[in-house]
Structure 1
Amino acid sequence: MGRSVLVTGGNRGIGLAVARAFRDRGDRVTVTCRRSAPPDDDLLAVECDVTVPDQVEAAFTRAEEAHGPVEVLVSNAGIIDDVLLLRMREEHFSRVVETNLTGTYRVARRAVRSMVRGGWGRIVLISSVAAVRGAPGQVNYAASKAGMTGMARAMARELGSRAITANVVLPGFIPTDINAGLSEEFRAQVLAQIPAGRFGDPAEVAATVAFLASDEAAYITGALIPVDGGLGMGH
C-alpha cells in the first residue's frame, strides 16, 4: 500500500514533482494547495493555506481519513516577495516569514503527532540556496529559509530516538512558475555562477527528497542537502 505522504504546495513546480515521485513509488499522496488543484487526478488535493491553523488541521484530518496517519511530510509551500531592504515594509517581511517558516512549524508540529505514535517518520523541509548564499532583495525570503536549518536540527535532536528524521533540501535555480517573471538578463547572470552550467529540474529535487524519505536514508538527519549545481558551494 505504500506510505501516507503529505506535500504542502504540491500542486505545481517542485512540490508537484515531489508528489509525483512519491506516487510513482507506490505511496499514497496528499497535496495541499491554496488555489488550483494539481493536474493529476490520482493525487489527493486539499485546499490549505499554511498561515491558517484551522486549515492545516483540516488538511491533515482529510489526509488521514483517506490515506492513514501521515508518515512522510514534505514542507514545500512558500512565497517570495522580493524588495530591497531600504524599501521593504514590515508586512513584506512578516508575510513571507509567516508562510515559509511559521507555516513549516505548523505542519511539522501536526505531522509529528502520528509519527511519534507510529515510531517512524520522515520530515523534509524545502529551503533554498538563498538561505546560505543570500540574494539582493531577499532579506525576508532568505531569513525564512535559513530558519528551516535550526528548525530541522532541533527536530532531529528531539525526535531522532523515535526513528524520525528531519532534513533540509536547498534547491538552486529551478525554473518554475515562482520565478517565471525574472528577466533573461538576470537568468544569464545566475547561470554564469553555476558550476554545472545549467539550471536544475524539479525532478532532480524530487529525487533527492524521495531518497531522504527512504529506508536507505535512515541514518541521515539534521542534514542540509544542496541541489543547486554547485551554486552555493563554500557556504
Structure 2
Amino acid sequence: MTGKFENKVVVVTGGTSGIGLATAARFAAQGASVFITGRRQKELDAAVESMKGRVVGVRADMSKLADIDRLYDAVQQKHAHIDVLFANAGGGSMLPLGAITEEHYEDTFGRNVKGVIFTVQKAIPLLRDGASVILTGSTAGSTGTAAFSVYSASKAAVRNLARSWTLDLKERGIRVNVISPGPVKTPGLVELAGPEQAQQQALLDYMAANVPIGRVADPDEVAKVVLFLGSDDSSFVAGAEFFVDGGLAQV
C-alpha cells in the first residue's frame, strides 16, 4: 500500500526523542525519505534503528550554522529537493528573573530562535515550491510561566517567524505553520524536574492537573497534527498556530 508521503523528502530536526522521534517515525511509515538530526551519535543511531523505512541520521547541533550546512549537504547527496521541513530542534531550562544569565539566554535563543531561523533560511534553495514548513512553538509562547520567561519569549518569537515567513515565501506557495504543544511526556520535559523519577512524576501529575482534559499528551498525538500540516490535507493553512494542548491555553 502506498503511503501518503511516498516519494516525499522530509527533514525533522531534533528527531532522536519525544515529538521529533514520533513524527519522523510516522513520516517514514507513510513512505517518506526522512532525515533526522540529533546532537549525540548514540541516541541518533538508536533513533534510526527504531524506525522502519528510509531514515538517515545526521549528527548536528542546529544552533551551529556549519552543522546546518552539513545536514543539507547530506540531503543533497540523495535528493534534489525537500517537501516537508519540521524545524523541531530546541529546548530550554528554567531560571527566574533575577537569576537569568547571559549563558542561559544565549543557549535558549541559540537553540530556539537562531537555530530555527537558519534551519529554514538555509533550506530555501532545496524547498520545493508548495513545500510545507512546520516550526515547533509552545503554549509557553502565549502564556506566562514562572522561571520560564526566556524560553517563553523564544517560543513567542517562533510564532511570529511563521507569520512573517508566510509573506516572504508566498510567491513560491511555501506554507509555514507552527505547532504549539502543551505538556507532553518527553525526556526534555521530565528532565526539567531533575534526575529523580519521583520528582519527574510529580511534575507530570502537576501539569496533568492543570490540563482541562486531565492528562499530559503522548508525543504521537502531536506527531499526527504535524503530519496533517505537512500533507496536502492542510493545503489552505498558512501562518497558523495549531495548539495541541488539551485545552491548556484555550479555556
Alignment-derived partner of residue 109 in structure 2: 97
Alignment-derived partner of residue 196 in structure 2: none
SS at match of 1:40: helix
Percent identity at matched positions? 31
1:140 aligns to 2:150 (yes or no)? yes
SS at match of 1:30: strand
SS at match of 1:92: helix
CA drift of 1:187 comes to 2.9
The CA RMSD measured in Å over matched residues stands at 1.4
Alignment-derived partner of residue 243 in structure 2: 226
1:82 aligns to 2:94 (yes or no)? yes
Task: Report the TM-score when normalising by structure 2.
Answer: 0.88
Alignment-derived partner of residue 9 in structure 1: 14
After superposition, residues 206-221 of structure 1 pair within 5 angstroms as 206-221=223-238
User: Which of 123, 135, 140 does residue 111 from structure 1 map onto?
Assistant: 123
Do 1:4 and 1:68's aligned partners in 2 also have CA atoms closer than 8 Å?
no
Structure 1 unmatched runs, 5+: none
User: Which of 175, 181, 202 does residue 165 from structure 1 map onto?
Assistant: 175
Do 1:9 and 1:78's aligned partners in 2 also have CA atoms closer than 8 Å?
yes
SS at match of 2:74: helix
SS at match of 1:71: strand
Task: Report the TM-score when normalising by structure 1.
Answer: 0.94
Higher mean C-alpha displacement, 37-46 vs 14-23: 37-46
Structure 2 unmatched runs, 5+: 1-5, 194-198
CA drift of 1:210 comes to 0.4
Alignment-derived partner of residue 177 in structure 1: 187
Higher mean C-alpha displacement, 219-228 vs 61-70: 61-70
Separation in structure 2 between the aligned mates of residue 151 and residue 39 of structure 1, nearest angstrom: 29
CA drift of 1:185 comes to 3.6
Higher mean C-alpha displacement, 212-221 vs 39-48: 39-48
CA drift of 1:189 comes to 2.6
